[in-house]
Amino acid sequence: MRALNVAIIGGGTVGCGVYQALQRNGTLMAARIGTALKVRHVVVRKKRKRRSVAIPSEVLTTDWESAIRDPEVQIVVELIGGTTTARRVVETALRLKKPVITANKALLSAHGKSLFGLAARHQVGLYYEASVAGGIPIIKALRESLVGNRFTQIYGILNGTCNYILTRMESGGEPFDEVLLDAQRRGYAEAEASLDIDGLDAMHKAGLIASIAHGFWVPPRAIHVEGIGGISVLDIEFAEKLGYRIRLLATICPCGERSSVSASKPRIQVSVCPTLIPKSHVLASVNGVFNAVYVNGDVVGETLFYGQGAGQDATASAVLSDVADAALDLASSSPARVAPFQPYASGSDVIPWKEVVSEYYMRLSVVDKPGTMAQIATVLAEEGIGISSIVQPEGHEGGIGPLILMIHDATTGIIQHATKRISRLKVVKGKPQLIRVEHFH
C-alpha cells in the first residue's frame, strides 16, 4: 500500500487530537483511501511539556521549517493559530509544492486571497474544512456536493461560545457577565473572550463561506459585525414572549429580491450580529456549544448542517477529512481536484450595512406619561418607518419602564438615524436597544 508522511505543525489541543485520531483510525482510513498515513513530525514549542496525548519523543521537534523541508514529508498540517508564523508555515510548504491542511480561519480571513493564489501558482492543494464550524463538513458541501446550486440563503450559528452563553441566559435567566465567567471556568470560553463574544470568530468563518458560495473574495472589512455583550436577560425574555429566540447569526444572502439571486453580478449581505429568530425555525433550536448552517440552494432547496463547531475531536475529524483529500490528490497526481477558492463573479460586492433592509426589535426605557408613545411614533413616521406591534409591560417602578417596538422592514441606515433621534427625546432614558429580526423569507 502507498504510504505518505505527515508533519503536524502545532502540538496543542487540536494537534494532539489529530495525532490521537490517526493512531486510533489510521488503519481504517488506509483501507478506505488506499494510502497509509504516518505522522513523521509534530512541531511543538517545548518538547518536555506535559500533554494529554502521549507522542513519542522522536516524533516531537521544535523546528517547524526543518519538519516542512524534510524530503520524507509529503503533507503539512498547520495547527498553530495566529497569522504571523502560521502564514510563514503555509507559504513555505506551498512553495515546496507540499499540500497544506489548516484549521486557521483567522489566517485565511486575513491572507486567504494571497494564499489561495500562491497555491494555484504552485499547483498544490490548500485545504481548510476545519477552519469553519469544526466537524461540520460545510466547506466540502458548498464546494462539491452543492456545486450545481445558486445559494439564495445561507444562515449560520458559527460560534459555540456565544451560543452557549445565549442559551444559558435563556434557560436560567442569568446575566451575561455571570454566564461568561462560568463558560470560562468550564473551558467553553477563553480567558480573553473578546474574539468570540465580539463576533470576530464568526466573522472570519462567515467571510470564508460567503467567498466560496458567491465566487468573489469577501474581505473582513466588508462584513458588518456586532457581538453579544449588549444582550440583556430582559431582551431574551421579551423575545421569548414575542415568539423569538436570540442567536448570534451569520447572514449571507443576495440582496435585491430577497428570495432570488440576480443573474449578473449580485450584491450580497454578509453580516454577523445578534438576531431574533422565530421559535418555529430550526435554527432557534440550536442550543449550547453546537453550531448549525442553514443553506438554501435554488436546485436542492433547504438543507441543514448541524454538529460540534469546535473542540479537539470535532476539529480533528475535519482535519483528517482534508488529509484524506490531500492523499487522494497526490495519488492521482492532481494538485487538487477542487480549487481551494475559485473566483468567478468579478464585479460582485458586499452591500454596505446602512443599505441592508431588515425588520427590527427596539427596546426603549421611557417615562410613563401621556404623549410618550406619540413622540416616538412621530419620529418613526417622519423617517418612513412602520410599527408592526407595541409591548409595554405594566407594574414598573419609578415612572420609567420598558417599551418594546417591533419595526417593519427598513434600511439599517434609516432605522439607526431614527434611533439616534429617539434617544434624544426627554421621555427616553438610557441607550435604546436595537436587534435585527430575521424571518427567512
205 flagged as catalytic: yes
CATH number of the domain bearing residue 394 = 3.30.70.260
Rounded to an integer, what distance in angstroms lies between the CA atom of residue 407 and that of residue 415? 9
The residue annotated as part of the active site, out of 38, 140, 205, 420, is: 205
Highest mean pLDDT among 132-141, 174-183, 219-228: 219-228
Residue 341 lies inside a defined structural domain of this protein: no
Tell me, yes or no, whether 159 and 301 share the same domain: yes
Tell me, yes or no, whether 363 and 407 share the same domain: yes
pTM: 0.92
Note down the domain range covering 424: 353-437
Rounded to an integer, what distance in angstroms lies between the CA atom of residue 288 and that of residue 369? 41
Other CB atoms within 10 Å distance of the CB of residue 83: 13
Residue 348 lies inside a defined structural domain of this protein: no
If you compute the radius of gyration of the chain from its CA atoms, what whole number of angstroms results? 24
Tell me, yes or no, whether 287 and 396 share the same domain: no
Tell me, yes or no, whether 107 and 256 share the same domain: no
E strands, 122-206, are: 126-127, 151-157
Output the CA angle 201-202-208, nearest 5 degrees.
Answer: 100
Residue 343 lies inside a defined structural domain of this protein: no
pLDDT greater than 80 at residue 263: no
Average pLDDT over residues 209-214: 94
Give residue 168's pLDDT: 94
**Percent of residues, the chain, with pLDDT higher than 90:** 80
How many structural domains comprise the chain?
3
pLDDT tens-digit map of 49-100:
888 888 999 999 999 999 999 999 999 999 998 999 999 999 999 999 999 9
Asked if 146 contacts 367 with a C-beta cutoff of 8 angstroms, the reply is: no
Residue 395, burial from CB neighbour count under 10 angstroms (0-12, 13-18, 19+): exposed
Residue 28 lies inside a defined structural domain of this protein: yes
Rounded to an integer, what distance in angstroms lies between the CA atom of residue 262 and that of residue 296? 15
The cell for 250 is 451569520
Average pLDDT over residues 136-155: 94
Asked if 165 contacts 179 with a C-beta cutoff of 8 angstroms, the reply is: yes
